[in-house]
Structure 1
Amino acid sequence: MVMTKELIIQKIDDFLIDEFEVEEEEIAADANLKDTLGLDSLDFVDLVVAVESNFGVKLVGEDFVNVTTLQNFYDLIERKLH
């Protein structure tokens, strides 16, 4: 099944809210993952696990080199799925 960009974004936003206790109003495409969302290095490990369980794709450290905003993260997951 091919996931639409909207569905990918919705799933990511849902697990950020549910599993990382990110406030819904803090979620914006230009939000900085570390600063705005308050994600630390341990959270990134949990984020990788959440992506693998929600999307079935594996992420490695190099995948995050250019990922600073939530939009970068959405795009990364979309690329991995297609």
Structure 2
Amino acid sequence: MNKAEIINKMNEFMSDEFEVDVEDIQPDAILKDTLGLDSLDYVDLVVSIEANFGVKLVESDFVGISTFQTFYDLIERKLIAKHA
């Protein structure tokens, strides 16, 4: 799966899961603010990532994750590590 495919898939399920317009999901937008995440929503996000990509996320993975771009990069790294 290439980066564009990762981004498209992530944007689709985040838009559906958190009821935001996909147009609002921009690489430099703040993840928490755009999706309106609270602590329980982060759990939903982790479960969705695991279901859609088959990678596990832990709390420490979110250190330094603020924008959609940094989140995309995290998932890409996890997928590369999984297939290495």
Which TM-score bucket, shorter chain as reference?
over 0.9
Structure 1 unaligned spans of 5+: none
Deviation of the 1:25 alpha carbon: 2.2
The size of the alignment, in residue pairs, is 80
* Pair 1:21 & 2:28 matched: no
Q: Which has the higher contact order (CA 8 A, sep 6+)?
A: 1
The aligned counterpart of 2:33 is 35
User: Which stretch of the first structure deviates more once superposed, 22-31 or 3-12?
Assistant: 22-31
The match for 2:60 is 62
- In terms of fraction of residues, the more helix-rich structure is 2
Residue identity matched to 1:15: F
Structure 2 CA distance for aligned equivalents of residues 26 and 37 of structure 1? 9
State the shift of 1:65 in Å: 0.4
Per-residue CA deviations over 1:30-72 (Å, capped at 9, x if unaligned) read 1101123211111111000000000000000000001000000
Identity of aligned residues (%): 66
Which runs of structure 1 show a deviation greater than 4 angstroms over 4 or more consecutive aligned residues?
none
Q: Structure 2-normalised TM-score?
A: 0.90
TM-score (norm 1): 0.92
CA gap 1:36/1:19 in 2 versus in 1, 3 angstroms? closer
CA RMSD of aligned residues (A): 0.8
Q: Which 5+ residue runs of structure 2 have no aligned equivalent?
A: none
